[in-house]
Structures are given as C-alpha cells and as structure tokens.
Structure 1
Amino acid sequence: MSMEDLVAQTSGSDAEGGPFPFPSLDALNDACGKIPQSRDLTVGLEEGFLDIRDALRIVVDPITQPLSWMLRNALDVMTSTPWWVMIPLLLIVVWAVGRNWRLTGFVALCFGFLAFIDHYDYAMQTLAIIFVCAFICVLLGVPIGIAMSRSDRMQRVVIPILDMLQTLPPFVYLIPLIFLFSVTEPKLYGIAVILYAIVPVVRLTDLGIRLVDKDVIEAADAFGMTKHQKLFGVQIPLALPNIMAGVNQTIMMSLAMVVIASMVSAPGLGILVLRGIRNLELGVGLIAGLGIVIIAIVLDRVTKASLARIDASQSSR
C-alpha cells in the first residue's frame, strides 16, 4: 500500500485516545492559573507569622530571658575584668583541662598576640558568647542524646529535626528570630548560635552510648545494676570520648555562628569582619579573621587535650 492510500484512509478521521488521554495545553493552562503563586504563598506565610508573633512572644520571652541575662553578665565579666586577671584565670583553666605546659604556653602566646593587635576586647566578647552558648548546648544536648540512645522511637523523631537544623543555611536561623525579638536583645543571636551548634553534641552522645560494648552491659546486669547505675557508672564514662568530640564540634560551630550573627548585633570579632566587608577595609577584615583563626585553634587544642586525657585515663584502667 502506498503512502497516498494511507493518507486517504486516515484523512478526516479523529484519532482515538487511550483510556488516560494526556490533557490538552488549554486545560493545563487553566489549571495552572488556579495554583497559588509563590508570591501569594510567601505573603500568606509572613502574615500568618505576624498574626501569631505577639502570642508567641508571651510564651517564648520568659523561657529565653535567662539566656539574655547570662550573655549580658558573661560579656560584662569578660570585658570589665582586667587583662592581667583574666588571662591568668584562662591559663589556669587550660592547665586544669589539659595538664600540658606546652599547650598553656601556646595559649598564653595567642592571647598576647590578640592583645598586641589590639583585638583583646573583641576576642573576650567572642569567647563570652561561645562559653555561654556552648554550655547551654551541652546542658540541653547531652540529655537529649541520652534519651535518644534509650528509645528508638525518640531517635526516629529527633533525627529528622537534627537533619533539618544541620542542613539549613546559617542565615536562615536569623530570619524568624529577627521578626520575633528586638535586634538589641542578646537572646536573638544566642538562640541562633544554640540551634546551629547543638546538633553535634546530640548526635555523638547518642552514638557514643549506643556503641558501648554489649558484653559490658551484660556484666553490669549480672552485678544487679539499675538502669541509672548503668547509665552513670558504665555507659556515660565509656561514651565520654564521643561526647567530648561532640563538645569540640559544638564549640567550633558556635564560633562560626557567632561571626555570622554579627549581622544582628552580636559583639566580638565578627563585627570587625563585617566592617571590613561593608567598608572594603581589607586590613581590618584580614586581621579580625586572623584573630578568629587564633581563637578557633586555641579552643580546638584545649578540647582535644581534654579528650586525650580522657582516652589516656580509660586506657590505663
């Protein structure tokens, strides 16, 4: 059969569709017009948040007010104490944690360099925020990690929340907090730092307790230990290296977020970095960045020295 015969047979006849025909473009165009546009969604979300903001403040303010109090007092203590008192106190803490003269001397040189470049006060402000936020992260994160290790159901609930907190860009934490709190309130940047930095200590506490050898747990059961005795006498001591690794990562993430939180009035070296970016002052930004690197190295070395002491004490048992 020729092509002309085929055309003649099919001309004038409508093609029959299948049981599920693809909708026409006109139908798709009409349907798309009924879908809310992204602008409508964003406006609706913003209006909804503003509607509940006052009620949310009534609930959140009493809970978060102690955080503002702790941050203000920590900043006052760290900045008002003379350097010839504060630096020896910090060196005593470093020695008590690491029991290492080389580390103590290295930290002393770092603080001396920060004072030499006239960034001592900014460094103390940064350390004050890190100390408070890291302490709260450990205070909240370790119990959450312990609860996750004892309940698979709670782990399934908390893990998606931790994944969300870990994958959100740091700037996103600041958006709802700016609408909720005043920029002059320390809890604005304090909450952002805590939410960003709490994830590692929760994860590694859960992991450390779950990795405790089952034979050790069975031996504790054989001695008739209760759940609390096993937790505080066996599981937490054996999981302490993992917990300290989580604390180390939490401190590092707190430092990173403190620099970003300078955009919402967080004091410290981040203010100088932001000033260097805004005013194109290369020297100011680079020297402030060098100060942040020095603080990061000091905090990392001190926490790792503490972790090494814990490992050594456990291996000697």
Structure 2
Amino acid sequence: MTRPTPAGADAPSPAPALSPAFPPAQPPGSGRARSFAALRTIAALMLREMSTRYGRTPGGYLWAVLEPLAAILFLAIGFSLVIRNPSLGTSFLLFYATGFLPFNLYQSVSTTVARALSFSRPLLRYPAVTWIDALLARFLLNSLTGILVTLLLTGAVLAVIDSRAVLDLPPAVLAMFLAMILGLGVGTLNCVLSGLFPLWEVAWSIFTRPLFIASGILFIYEDLPPLAQDILWYNPLIHISGLMRTGFYPTYSASYVSVPFVLLSSLGLLALGLVLTGRYHRDILNR
C-alpha cells in the first residue's frame, strides 16, 4: 500500500537524463589503440609502395642507388674535361655528390608526396586509411631511402678518392633534414594543387626545370655575380647545398646560409598544404 505524501513535502524528482552534450567516456587506452592502428596503416602503405615501386623491376632497390650514382659520375667526368679543379677541394666526385644528394632527396620526397592521393586513391575509400596516412607513408619511405642512398654514396666516394677531409656531421645531418622538410612542404602543397587543377603538375615541372642549375649543385654561391646572388638567395635549395658542403669542407664557411629562412619557408608551405588538403581532399578523391 502506497503511503500518501505529506502536505508541503517535495515530490520525488525523476532521475536526471544524460545530457547529449557530454559524450560517454571512452574506454581507457582507446587513444593508444588509434595511434597503433594509424602506425599499422602507414607501415602497410609503405610496404605496398615498396612492392609496387621496387618489387616489379629487375634490381629492385638497386636502382635507387644506381640512378644518383650515375648522375654524379656523369657530372664529375664531364666537368673534369672542361675545368681543372672544382670550386671546392680537388675531387669532382665529392663536390658534385655533396650538392646533388640533398637535391635528389628533396626532389624525390616532393614528387612522391605530391602524388600521394592519386597513388593511394583506391585505399582511401576505406575509413581506416586517411589522407594524412598516405602523405606520411610516402614521406617516410622516400626520406629513409634518400638517407640510405646518401650514406652509401658519400661513404663510397670518400673511400674511392682517399680523401683526408675532416667530416663535420651536424651541418650535413641538418642539411638532409631541411631537404626532407622542404620536400614535404612543397609536395603537400602540390598534392592539393595538382588534384584541384590537373594542369598544375605539368606547369610545375616546366617552372622548376632550371632548379637543377639554380640550386648550387654545379657551383658555389660565392662564384656568382652580385645580381645572381641577390636573386638566388631566395631559393631554399641553395642554402641546403651550401650547408651540406660545410660538413665536408672545413675551410668553407657559407656565411650566406640561413637555416631559419629555409625552415620557415618549409613549415609555411607545409601548413598551407595541410590546411588546403584537409579542406579539399574529398573533392579531389571524388573527381
């Protein structure tokens, strides 16, 4: 039998409903699980590219070493027939290797990252694979490949020429890091631009064709006339090549090199590319 509520007493209030503004608590460790899943996805994308890019050609990864080696040999042999000594030191092999290898790393990273969405387009239909995973996978794989190629070729050149150069590793490592970050920034921005405007990739390849000459591979910055120095100083790659050579030539100072300029330029391009890719990646994939 239900007892009556006394007069003046408050009636029992119903249990408060859960507000939809507060999502239910997630189980502990879910953040780590998502991070582990993202790492597995990136690793799977890297393995897929390795098998697709190098596993279907005779020689496989050997071509990643032979291509820059052939370029360095052609430069060294060709210019040794025209001039007596390089701008620094006495070895044409070492001079062109220190200029070409960071440029090759930048070019490889920027080109592959720019094609990340088109390369992984079928896999990006799955919710587990995001556009950031596609960018990071291509960036990490080609960066690691470029670093390995640089270590092998510089070691081989130093062994062949019997150089007594005193190596200063921090500037060389910093130069390779800057080449990687610059390649990531340029590649990320080109990824969205080429996805939105298909002619952009062709226009970019034409526009940057003189970059091989203007990046300090065949000469040093100090050999240029003042007008050319004022113009090419705004090319981040000429700072990277100069910084790389300071690690192999102790008497070379390269006072024009500005690490903050290269770093800010790379991070600015990267930030702009990430914002645009996050905004338009669905439009690109649905084309």
TM-score, length of structure 1 as denominator length: 0.31
Higher relative contact order (CA 8 A, sep 6+): 2
Structure with higher helix content:
1
